[in-house]
Amino acid sequence: MRIFRRLLENVYFFFSAIFNAGIKLKYVVILCALIGGVVFTSTRYILIKNVGGQDDYDEAMRYIEIKDLIDENYIDTADRKAMGTAAASAMVNSLGDGWSYYMSADEYRTYQLSSVGEYSDIGMSIIKDTYSGGFQVLSVDLGTPAADSGLSVGMVITAVDQQNVTGMSEDEARTLIRSKMNGKFYLEIGGGQYSIQVDCTGYSTSPVRYRMEKTEAGYVQIKSFDAGSGQDAINAFEDLLAQGAVAMVVDLRGNSGGLTSELATFLDYLLPKGRLFSEISKDGEEIVTESDGVCVQLPMCVLIDTGTFREAEICAAALQEYGWASLLGEPTTGNTRTQETILLEDGSAIRLSTGSYLTPKGIDISEKGGVVPDMIVPSTDDSAVGTTEGTTGGEDGTASTSNDTQLMQALNFLSRNQSYIGTN
């Protein structure tokens, strides 16, 4: 009340001074109108600028208008929080991108708790530390490189091999740590207070499995493109070729992707000189990965399904576009975009696709809806996928059938087309 009274007093003294100076009332009115117009225009300009421009301002005003109309006219009581959540969710859903979505504050807290259980592959779980921007260690498994190095719950990681991680998302930090798993690396603790060496030598379990089939075709299963997988896949090819393999089956079913560096290593070994894939950002910046002139050319079949994601999809598409392999199985889902979780001021968040991979021909697989195999063959027994029994008969290689119909179809196809290379 005291502030309001002082304001009225100031207004009174202002007008008293004007009238004592002999200025006519009409000029006072004109002056007030001009001042009011300037204030209104300036305020509106600031509001429009703060929300991002005229279009964003109009959208915000439309939302407010709809909300007010509901408040004034809707027969029941409207839940304003529910309306806001639905509006935010609809904005992200309207993008038509199945990998982007909105999370309320409660949903984001649940998302954080679930992501806590996602290990960074060295045997520890981490979560973003809001104070430092680093990553707090929440749990450590015994008998893992994390435990052996001396990492313990509560420590905050701020750099990996001198690379600052305080500006990274949890996904980016986990990917960076995962890329170091084929050797030794250092984790900076507490903003540089000290460093801990993590030794993963001999710890990593290879995601690559391989064997020679009785049809004289080699079978190489790549479960992911995690650290070391690229060279492991090359080693598998070399060993099988030394054993006399005349064709190859590459099994990418259920491969959820991994590291682009590992994908590049494997594709560079297989394909001739040219573009392998590219990564493109929101602002159009494109990073192109190319192959040299050395390649491996023999009949090849690649198995894919709805569980083949991201880097694995790019691998299959590249081999298909070069005409280097025939694809067999089921269409992939088109998850070749990179996502980032962005926290909003009210504690809610959005999971947003911020980048994408392109095939050698510049195709965005996400926009296309996935990679379509040359031969569509449904899986009839998911439990039999990639099983040794039936294709090689365990250790002696005497059996000739398997419940893995897709694998058997690929082996039969290659045995009939041993001089065949690709379909395109």
419 pLDDT higher than 50: no
pLDDT for position 323: 94
Contacts of 120 (CB under 8 A, 6+ apart): 126, 146, 173, 174, 177, 178
Q: Tell me which of 60 and 104 has the higher pLDDT.
A: 104
* CATH architecture type of domain 117-199: Roll (2.30)
CA 408, 409, 411 angle in degrees (round to 5)? Answer: 65
Which comes out higher in pLDDT, residue 379 or 315? 315
Neighbours of 322 (CB within 10 A): 23
Across 18-27, 140-149, 266-275, 335-344, which has the greatest mean pLDDT?
266-275
Lowest-pLDDT range, 23-37, 46-60, 237-251, 293-307? 23-37
What is the per-residue pLDDT across 313-326, written as a single tens digit (0 to 9) for each? 999 999 999 999 99
pLDDT of amino acid 139: 82
- Higher-pLDDT residue of 264 and 40 is 264
How many beta carbons lie within 10 A of that of residue 226, not counting itself?
A: 26
The model carries a pTM of 0.71
Highest-scoring range by mean pLDDT, 26-40, 142-156, 289-303, 402-416: 289-303
Mean pLDDT of 55-81: 78
Closest CA to 410 of 315, 325, 316, 314: 325
Distance in angstroms (rounded) separating the CA atoms of residues 296 and 61? 61
Q: Is the pLDDT of residue 397 over 50?
A: no
Please state the rounded mean pLDDT for residues 179-201.
Answer: 85
Q: Summarize pLDDT for 327-376 with one digit per residue, the tens.
A: 999 999 998 888 888 888 888 888 888 889 999 999 999 989 999 999 99
For strands 135-140 and 156-160, give the pairing.
antiparallel
The answer to whether residue 32 scores a pLDDT higher than 70 is: no
Question: What is the SS3 string spanning the chain?
Answer: CHHHHHHHHHHHHHHHHHHHCCCCHHHHHHHHHHHHHHHHHHHHHHHHHHCCCHHHHHHHHHHHHHHHHHHHHCCCCCCHHHHHHHHHHHHHHCCCCCCCEEECHHHHHHHHHHHHCCECCCCEEEEECCCCCCEEEEEECCCCHHHHHCCCCCCEEEEECCEECCCCCHHHHHHHHHCCCCCEEEEEECCCCEEEEEECCCCCCCCEEEEECCCCEEEEEECCECCCHHHHHHHHHHHHHHCCCCEEEEECCCCCCECHHHHHHHHHHHCCCEEEEEEEECCCCEEEEEECCCCCCCCEEEEECCCCCHHHHHHHHHHHHCCCCEEEECCCCCCCEEEEEEECCCCCEEEEEEEEEECCCCCEHHHHCCCCCCEECCCCCHHHCCCCCCCCCCCCCCCCCCCCHHHHHHHHHHHHCCCCCCCC
Pairwise pLDDT comparison (6 vs 410), residue with the higher score: 410
| pLDDT tens string 154-188 | 899 999 988 998 888 877 888 888 878 778 899 99
Q: How far apart (Å, rounded) are the C-alpha atoms in residues 301 and 420?
A: 10
**Distances in Å between the alpha carbon of 389 and those of 233, 250, 411?**
22, 18, 14
pLDDT of 190 strictly over 90: no
Distance in angstroms (rounded) separating the CA atoms of residues 184 and 390: 40
Show me where the domains of the chain are located.
Answer: 2-78, 117-199, 208-416
The Cα 384–Cα 390 span in angstroms is: 9
Structure confidence at residue 395 (pLDDT): 45
Q: Is residue 285 within 8 Å of 247, Cβ to Cβ?
A: no
Q: What is the mean pLDDT of residues 185-211?
A: 84
pLDDT at 243 over 90: yes
**Residue 49, pLDDT score:** 59
Place of tokens 């894939």: 277
pLDDT at 40: 54
Q: How far apart are CA 121 and CA 146, in angstroms?
A: 9
3-class SS string, 91-135 = HHHCCCCCCCEEECHHHHHHHHHHHHCCECCCCEEEEECCCCCCE
Provide the percentage of residues in the chain whose pLDDT is more than 70.
Answer: 77
Mean pLDDT over all residues of the chain?
A: 80
Q: Torsion angle, CA of 17/18/22/28, rounded to 10 degrees?
A: -170
* Fold classification of 208-416 (topology level): 2-enoyl-CoA Hydratase; Chain A, domain 1 (3.90.226)
Backbone angles phi, psi at 322, to 5 degrees: -75, -10
